Amino acid sequence: GENVEQHPSTLSVQEGDSAVIKCTYSDSASNYFPWYKQELGKRPQLIIDIRSNVGEKKDQRIAVTLNKTAKHFSLHITETQPEDSAVYFCAASGYGGATNKLIFGTGTLLAVQP
């Protein structure tokens, strides 16, 4: 089955710097890659996603890149702010059709130092 690895597990940056979180997946049939942000004590919320027919997607300060050949995808946050501090999870779809599953990475705790 699908396996998703996420690195680093913790990341500390200065406010205004960029942050990059990387994930690799094992199933070449995966075609949907969302990123979730979970603030302390709150539910995970989708911040950006990408499907396998595109290589990059941007939304203001966040962007996701996908390399299908290498089976890895990354989250890029530019001009980080203290409110970006949270745990970030990547995920990859299980096989399509009736399963509709997401396999999650183990999470990255991002701390933005003011």
Partner 1 sequence: DVKVTQSSRYLVKRTGEKVFLECVQDMDHENMFWYRQDPGLGLRLIYFSYDVKMKEKGDIPEGYSVSREKKERFSLILESASTNQTSMYLCASSYYGTGGVDTQYFGPGTRLTVL
Residues that bind partner 1 (CB under 8 A): 6, 9, 31-32, 34, 36, 42-46, 49, 51, 89, 93-94, 96, 98-107
Compute how many other C-beta atoms are within 10 angstroms of the C-beta atom of residue 70: 8
Q: What is the spatial distance between Cα 58 and Cα 49, in angstroms, rounded to a whole number?
A: 10
Smaller CB distance to partner 1: residue 28 or 100? 100
Supply φ then ψ for residue 100, to 5 degrees: 55, 30
Smaller CB distance to partner 1: residue 13 or 104? 104
Amino acid at 66: L
Smaller CB distance to partner 1: residue 22 or 94? 94
Residue 44 Cβ vs partner 1, minimum distance, rounded to whole Å? 5
Residue 97 Cβ vs partner 1, minimum distance, rounded to whole Å? 9
Q: Which region, left, alpha or beta, applies to residue 52 given φ > 0 means left and ψ of -120 to 50 means alpha?
A: alpha
Residue 112 Cβ vs partner 1, minimum distance, rounded to whole Å? 20
For residue 49, the surrounding DSSP H or E stretch is: strand 45-51
Residue 84 Cβ vs partner 1, minimum distance, rounded to whole Å? 19
